[in-house]
Structure formats: structure tokens, C-alpha cells
């Protein structure tokens, strides 16, 4: 059964870069049949798609975040990563990774605060 | 961007009730519509994909319909574990967008 697990810093200072990794187990990330996604949810609010990457390395980002987002893939480690630069308090959210429509990881809360 | 609008935003119902949630897209998305259930503190769980296909392991009390711009999620007989927030999502074009959510509460 495919499982995804987010990891990374839970506290990031304003203007710094948020970095998260999604480890994939129970299946291979090396399949272009699926997109590998990052989604976030500010506390008490709805869901916002950040972007996705394919096995080929092709990426698609939400235009609202495009200038600050980088998603990369590490096939050797069966994982993919998110970098979000120049963060502000508005980037405080639970960050989820997901394969296509599912499954999703359990999510990790990232707080932006000095 | 394609805007997804859900209605109602919140809903009170009783165990055993039949409930329908609607989702409208700002332009045609064919059948590229997914439904998710989210419980507090948990990740969203896929219920329905491609507008009407039931995800494996999801009870048959859940069903989806629609195409183009108008979609519905129906729960035929509410169970206690169904009280949650429901989101629609379009995967027709990037950026992928979600509805604002429908909170289903116990009456």
C-alpha cells in the first residue's frame, strides 16, 4: 500500500526558505502515470494546490506562488521535495504531499515566525 | 484559473438522512472532478474521482454525478462517521483548484 510521509522544519523565520520532503513507500516514484503534488491548508481554512512534478522532472506551479516555489524529485531516494522562499506569516499552514488524487500524506504544520 | 463553488457552505443533518452537496465550475471541466472528505486534524481522503467513480474502500452510500460545470456528491444514508468537511477539486487544468468546502454537522 502506497504511503507518503512529509518531513522538514516545523518553524521557519520570515524571509527564509521553507523546505519539506515527501518520502514515498510501498511503491515507486518513477512512474509518469502519476503527478507528485504539494498542497497546503492554512489553519481553519481551505486547500490550496502548490504544484506538482512528474517522474520526468516536468513541473507545474500555482501562478500565485510560482516565483517562490521549487519542487524537485530524487528517484534514488524515492522522494520529492518542496522549497518555498521568502516566506511570511501567510505561508503558515499544514503542508501535504500527495500522489495524483491520492493517497495523501498525513501533513506537517509549518509555522512562520521569528 | 477555474473557480470551484460549493453549496451549501455548511449543512446540518441527522443520521440516516440523504444529503447532497453541489459543486459548480466556472467553466467546463468535463469529468475531471474529485471529491474529498476531511476530518479534523486529518488529511483529505479521496472519495470519488472522475466525477462518478467510487474510490476503492469507500462505502457505496457515497456517489457522485455530473459533467461539464455542475456536479453533485450524494450520501444516501448518513452514518456517524460521515460528519466531516467535504471538498471538490478540479484536475482539468492547472492550477488545480478546490471548492471552499462544505461542513457537514450533526443536527
pLDDT of amino acid B107: 87
Burial of A85 (0-12, 13-18, 19+ CB in 10 A): middle
**DSSP states of B55-97:** PTT--TTEEEEEETTEEEEEESS--GGG-SEEEEEE-SSSSPE
Of the candidates A48, A63, A104, the beta carbon closest to that of B44 is on A104
Q: Is the pLDDT of residue A31 over 80?
A: no
Within 8 A of B97 by CB-CB distance, chain A residues are: 49
Is B103 in CB contact (< 8 Å) with chain A? no
Contact B95 A107 (CB under 8 A): no
Is A44 in CB contact (< 8 Å) with chain B? no
Q: What is the pLDDT of residues A87-111, one digit of tens each?
A: 999 999 999 999 999 899 999 999 9
Asked if A107 and A6 touch (Cβ cutoff 8 Å), the reply is: yes
Q: Which of A66, A67, A102 to mutate to test the interface with B (most CBs of B within 10 A)?
A: A102
Is A42 in CB contact (< 8 Å) with chain B? no
Q: What is the pLDDT of residues A33-90, one digit of tens each?
A: 899 999 999 999 999 999 999 988 999 999 999 999 999 999 999 999 999 999 999 9
Within 8 A of A107 by CB-CB distance, chain B residues are: 43
Within 8 A of B94 by CB-CB distance, chain A residues are: 60, 62
pLDDT of amino acid A33: 82
Q: Give the span between the Cα atoms of A74 and A23, in whole angstroms.
A: 10
- Tell me the nearest-neighbour CA distance from B44 into chain A, angstroms: 7
Give me the residues paired with residue A18 across strands.
Answer: A84
Is A47 in CB contact (< 8 Å) with chain B? yes
Q: What is the pLDDT of residues B33-60, one digit of tens each?
A: 999 999 999 999 999 999 999 999 999 9
Q: Coil, strand, or helix at residue A29?
A: coil
Q: Which of B2, B85, B89, B96 to mutate to test the interface with A (most CBs of A within 10 A)?
A: B96
Of the candidates B46, B95, B99, the beta carbon closest to that of A101 is on B46
Reading phi first (left if > 0) and then psi (alpha if -120 to 50, else beta), residue B60 is in: alpha
Give B43-51's long-range contacts (Cβ < 8 A, gap of 24+). B43/A96, B43/A104, B43/A105, B43/A106, B43/A107, B44/A47, B44/A96, B44/A104, B44/B87, B45/A102, B45/A104, B46/A101, B46/A102, B46/A103, B47/B73, B47/B86, B48/B73, B49/A101
Cα torsion B9, A44, B64, B68: sign:
positive
Amino acid at each position: 500500500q502506497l504511503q507518503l510521509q512529509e518531513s522538514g522544519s516545523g518553524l521557519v523565520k520570515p524571509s527564509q526558505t521553507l523546505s519539506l520532503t515527501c518520502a514515498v513507500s510501498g511503491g515507486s516514484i518513477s512512474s509518469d502515470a502519476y503527478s507528485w503534488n504539494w498542497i497546503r491548508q492554512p489553519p481553519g481554512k481551505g486547500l490550496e494546490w502548490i504544484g506538482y512534478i512528474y517522474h520526468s522532472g516536468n513541473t507545474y506551479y500555482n501562478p500565485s506562488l510560482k516565483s517562490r516555489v521549487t519542487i524537485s524529485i530524487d528517484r534514488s531516494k524515492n522522494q520529492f521535495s518542496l522549497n518555498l522562499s521568502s516566506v511570511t506569516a501567510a505561508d503558515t499552514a499544514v503542508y501535504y504531499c500527495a500522489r495524483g488524487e491520492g493517497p495523501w500524506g498525513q501533513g506537517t504544520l509549518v509555522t512562520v515566525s521569528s | 484559473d477555474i473557480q470551484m463553488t460549493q453549496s451549501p457552505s455548511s449543512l446540518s443533518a441527522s443520521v440516516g438522512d440523504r444529503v447532497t452537496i453541489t459543486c459548480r465550475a466556472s467553466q467546463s471541466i468535463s469529468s475531471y472532478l474529485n471529491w474529498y472528505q476531511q476530518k479534523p486534524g486529518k488529511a483529505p481522503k479521496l472519495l470519488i474521482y472522475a466525477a462518478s467513480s467510487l474510490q476503492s474502500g469507500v462505502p457505496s452510500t457515497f456517489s457522485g454525478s455530473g459533467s461539464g460545470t455542475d456536479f453533485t456528491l450524494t450520501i444516501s444514508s448518513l452514518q456517524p462517521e460521515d460528519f466531516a468537511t467535504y471538498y471538490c477539486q478540479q484536475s482539468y487544468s492547472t492550477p488545480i483548484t478546490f471548492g471552499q468546502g462544505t461542513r457537514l454537522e450533526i443536527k
